[in-house]
Structure 1
Amino acid sequence: MKQNLKVIGEHTNHIFKQNTQITQLGKSGQIHEAVKLFSEMTRKNTVTYNSMISALNKNGKFNDARHLFDNMPRRNLVSWNTMIAGYLHSDRIDEAYRLFVKMPKRDRFSWTLMISYFTRKGELEKARELFDLFPHKRDVAFWNVMIRGYGEKGRIVEARRLFDEMPLRVVVSWNLMLSCYTRNGEMRLGREFFEGMALRDVVSWNLMVDGFIEVGDLDSAWEYFEKTPYPNVVSWVTMLCGLARSGKILEARRLFDQMQNKNVVSWNAMISAYVKDYQIEEAARLFSDMPNRDSFSWTTMIDGYVHVGQLDKARELLNQMPYKDIAAQTAMLSGYIKNKRMDEACQVFNEIAARDIVCWNTMIAGYSQMGRMDKALDLFKEMKDKDLVTWNTMIIGYAQIGEMEEAVKIFNGMKIKNVVSWNSLITGFLQNGLSMDALTSFKLMAHEGITPDHSTFACSLSACANLAALQVGKQMHNKVLKSGHLNDLFVGNALITMYAKCGCILCAQLIFDDLDEVDVISWNSLITGYALNGYGKQAVQLFEQMVSKGLQPDHVTFIGVLSGCSHIGLVDQGLKLFKHMTEIYSIEPMVEHYACIVDMLGRAGMLSEAFEVVRGLKIRANAGIWGALLAACKTRGNLKLGKIAAEQLSEFEPRKTSNFVLLANMQAEAGSWDEVENTRLSMKYTEAEKQLGCSWIEVRHQLHCFQSNMPMQPETAEVYSNLKTLTSQISNLDCVSKSSLLDNL
Structure 2
Amino acid sequence: MTSKLKPIADRGSLIYTQNLKLTQLSKSGRIEEAVKVFDSMPSRNTVTYNSMISAYAKNGRITEARRLFDQMPFKNLVSWNTMISGYSHNDSLSEAAKLFETMPKRDQFSWTLMITCYARNRELVAARRLFDQMPVRSSVCYNAMIAGYAKVGMFEDAVRLLHETPCPDLVSWNSVLAGYTQNQEMGLGVKFFEGMPERDVISWNLVVDGFVRVNDLDSAWEFFERIPDRNVVSWVTMLNGYARSGRIVEARRLFDRMPERNVVSWNAMIAGYVQSLEIEEAFKLFTEMPERNSVSWTTMINGYVRVEKLKEARELLNKMPFKNVAAQTAMISGYVQSMRMDEALKIFEETSTRDVVCWNTMISGYAQCRRMDEAMKLFKRMPRKDVVSWNTMIAGYAQEGQMDKAMEIFKHTRERNVVSWNSMVSGFAQNGFYSDALKHFVLMRKEGKKPDWSTYACSLSACANLAALQVGMQLHLLLLRSGHADDLFAGNALITMYSRCGRISTARQVFDEMKNEDIISWNSLIAGYALNGYGKEAISFFREMEIAGLCPDEVTFVGVLSACSHAGLIDEGLDLFDSMTRRYSILPVAEHYACTVDLLGRAGRLEAAYELVKQMPVKHNAGIWGALLGACKIYKNPDLANFAAEKLFELEPHKTSNYVLLSNIHAEAGRWDVVERVRVLMKEKGVQKQPGCSWIEIRNMVCAFFSDDPMQPRNAEVCLVLKAVSGQMRSIGWSYDSSLLDCS
TM-score above 0.5: yes
Q: Is the 8 A contact 1:174 1:197 kept in 2?
A: yes
* Cα separation, 1, equivalents of 2:340 and 2:47: 56
Asked which structure has the greater CA Rg, the reply is 1
Cα separation, 2, equivalents of 1:128 and 1:349: 43
Could you tell me which residue of structure 2 aligns to residue 501 of structure 1? 500
1:544 matched to 2:540: no
Aligned-residue offset at 1:298: 0.9
Work out whether 1:622 is the aligned partner of 2:621.
Answer: yes
Q: Name the residue aligned to 2:402.
A: 403
Give the aligned CA root-mean-square deviation in angstroms. 4.5
Q: How does 1:61-80 map to 2 (within 5 A)?
A: none
Whether the 8 Å CA contact 1:181–1:189 is kept in 2: the answer is: yes
Instruction: Give 1:252's aligned residue.
Output: 251
Residue in structure 2 matched with residue 743 of structure 1 by the alignment = none
Q: Which amino acid aligns with 2:285?
A: L
Change (3 A) 1:16 1:489: same
Report the CA distance between 1:438 and its aligned residue.
3.0
| Unaligned ranges ≥5, structure 1 | 739-745
State the one-letter code of the partner of 2:350: E
Which of 694, 699, 703 aligns to 2:692? It is 694
Distance 2:50 2:493 in 1: 63
Secondary structure of 1:654's counterpart equals coil
User: What's 1:467 paired with?
Assistant: 466
Structure 1 residue identity aligned to 2:303: G
**1:396/1:285 CA distance change after superposition, 3 Å:** same
- State the one-letter code of the partner of 1:112: T
Give the secondary-structure state (helix, strand or coil) at the position aligned to 1:354.
coil
Q: Which residue in 1 is equivalent to 2:120? A: 120
Residue 719 (str. 1) matches residue 682 (str. 2): no
C-alpha contact (below 8 Å) 2:49/2:69 kept by paired residues: no
Give CA deviations for 1:489-509 in whole Å, capped at 9, x if unaligned. Answer: 322222221221122223323
Secondary structure of the corresponding residue to residue 291 of structure 2: coil
Query: SS at the partner of 2:703?
Result: strand
**Match for residue 346 of structure 2?**
347
> How far apart in 1 are the matches of 2:275 and 2:56?
46
Contact 1:112 1:142 in 2 (8 A): yes
Corresponding letter in the other structure for 2:388: V
CA offsets 1:675-697 (integer angstroms, 9 cap, x no match): 64565455431595315223033
Match of 2:376 in 1: 377
For the Cα contact (< 8 Å) 2:488–2:517, is it kept in 1?
yes
> For the residues of structure 2 that align with 1:333 and 1:113, how far apart are their CA atoms?
36
User: SS where residue 697 of structure 1 aligns?
Assistant: strand
In 2, Cα distance between equivalents of 1:82 and 1:660: 74
Q: Which residue of structure 2 aligns with residue 311 of structure 1?
A: 310
Query: Relative to 1, partners in 2 of residues 1:51 and 1:309: Cα closer, same or farther, differing over 3 Å?
Result: closer
Structure 1 residue 224 corresponds to structure 2 residue 220: no
* One-letter code aligned to 2:119: T
1:654 aligns with 2:653: yes
The 2-side partners of 1:731 and 1:216 are apart by: 69
CA distance in 2, matches of 1:512, 1:440: 27
* Correspondence for 2:682 among 681, 684, 688: 684
Instruction: Decide whether aligned partners of structure 1 residues 353 and 77 sit closer, same or farther in structure 2, where only a CA change above 3 A counts.
Output: closer
| Alignment TM-score, normalising by the size of structure 2 | 0.82
Where does structure 2 lack aligned partners over 5 or more consecutive residues?
Answer: 27-33, 734-744
CA distance in 1 between partners of 2:541 and 2:159 (Å): 56
8 Å CA contact 1:694–1:705 kept in 2: the answer is: no
Distance 1:282 1:48 in 2: 45
CA drift of 1:533 comes to 0.8
Distance 1:527-1:216 versus aligned 2 partners, 3 A rule = same
Q: Deviations over 1:689-726 (max 9, x none)?
A: 3152230332343333344554x42x55x522x35665
Contact 1:84/1:99 (8 A) holds in 2: no
For the 8 Å contact 1:80–1:99, the answer to whether it is kept is: no
CA distance in 2, matches of 1:659, 1:558: 26
1:322-373 CA deviation, whole Å, 9 max, x = no partner?
1111111111111112112222222222222222222222222222222222
Q: Which residue of 2 aligns with 1:269?
A: 268
**Contact 1:692 1:707 (8 Å CA) reproduced:** no
Query: What's the TM-score once normalised by structure 1's chain length?
Result: 0.82
| Farther-moved stretch of structure 1 (113-122 vs 352-361) | 113-122
Hey, what's the Cα distance between the residues in 2 that align with 1:586 and 1:458? 32
Q: Which aligned pairs between 1:727-738 and structure 2 lie closer than 5 A?
A: none
Contact 1:493 1:525 in 2 (8 A): yes
Per-residue Cα deviation, 1:448-467 (whole angstroms, up to 9, x for no partner):
55544332332222222222
The residue type equivalent to 1:455 in the other structure is: S
CA distance in 2, matches of 1:170, 1:561: 71
Q: Show the counterpart of 2:433.
A: 434
Q: Could you say which residue in structure 1 is the equivalent of 2:29?
A: none
Equivalent position of 2:737 in the other structure: none
Is contact 1:602-1:629 (8 Å) kept?
yes
Cα distance in structure 2, aligned partners of 1:446 and 1:159: 34
Partner SS, residue 293 of structure 1: coil
Deviation sequence 1:8-54 (CA, Å, 0-9, x none):
x99x9999999999999999789x999x999xx9xxxx999999999
Letter in 1 for 2:695: I
Q: Distance in 1 between matches of 2:650 and 2:52?
A: 77
CA shift digits 1:130-183 (9 cap, x unpaired) = 65676778x544443333222211233443444455554444344334333333
| Greater RCO, CA 8 A, separation 6+ | 2
Contact 1:499–1:505 under 8 Å retained in 2 = yes
Question: For 1:163-312, what aligned pairs fall within 5 Å after superposition?
Answer: 163-164=162-163, 168-312=167-311
User: Are the counterparts in 2 of residues 599 and 628 from structure 1 also a CA contact under 8 Å?
Assistant: yes
Helix, strand or coil for the counterpart of 2:521?
Answer: helix
Secondary structure of 1:384's counterpart equals coil
Q: Separation in 2 of the partners of 1:650 and 1:56?
A: 63
Distance (Å, rounded) in 2 between the aligned partners of 1:495 and 1:387: 34
Hey, what's the Cα distance between the residues in 2 that align with 1:666 and 1:48?
88
Task: Please state whether the residue corresponding to 2:620 is helix, strand or coil.
Answer: coil
The match for 2:357 is: 358
Residues in 2 aligned to 1:51 and 1:264: alpha-carbon distance in whole angstroms: 26
Tell me if structure 1 keeps the 8 A contact 2:656–2:687: no
Q: Is the 8 A contact 1:53 1:68 kept in 2?
A: no
- Checking the alignment, whether the CA contact within 8 Å between 2:461 and 2:497 is kept in structure 1 is yes
- Write the mapping of 1:635-650 to structure 2, written as runs, cut at 5 A: 635-650=634-649
1:380-415 Cα shifts (integer Å, max 9, x gaps): 333333333223323332333333344344444445
| Pairing of 1:503-522 with structure 2 (within 5 A) | 503-522=502-521
Letter in 2 for 1:685: K
Partner of 1:556: 555
Q: 1:383 to 1:691 in 2, by over 3 A?
A: farther
State the AA in 2 paired with 1:520.
I
- Give the equivalent residue in structure 1 for 2:736: none
CA distance in 2, matches of 1:300, 1:82: 31
Residue identity matched to 1:559: V
CA distance in 2, matches of 1:116, 1:361: 29
Moved more, 318-327 or 347-356: 347-356
Between stretches 163-172 and 146-155, larger displacement belongs to 163-172
1:326/1:621 CA distance change after superposition, 3 Å: same
Identity within the alignment, %: 53
* Alpha-carbon contact 1:218-1:243 (below 8 Å) kept: yes
2: distance between equivalents of 1:495 and 1:140? 57
Separation of aligned partners in 2, 1:532 and 1:736 = 30
Shift of 1:587: 2.9
- The alpha-carbon distance between structure 1 residues 54 and 14, as it changes in their structure 2 partners (threshold 3 A), is farther
Residue 635 of structure 1 aligns to which amino acid in structure 2? I
Q: Which residue of 2 aligns with 1:741?
A: none
CA pair 283-448 structure 1, distance change in 2 beyond 3 A: same
Q: What secondary structure sits across from 1:426 in the alignment?
A: helix
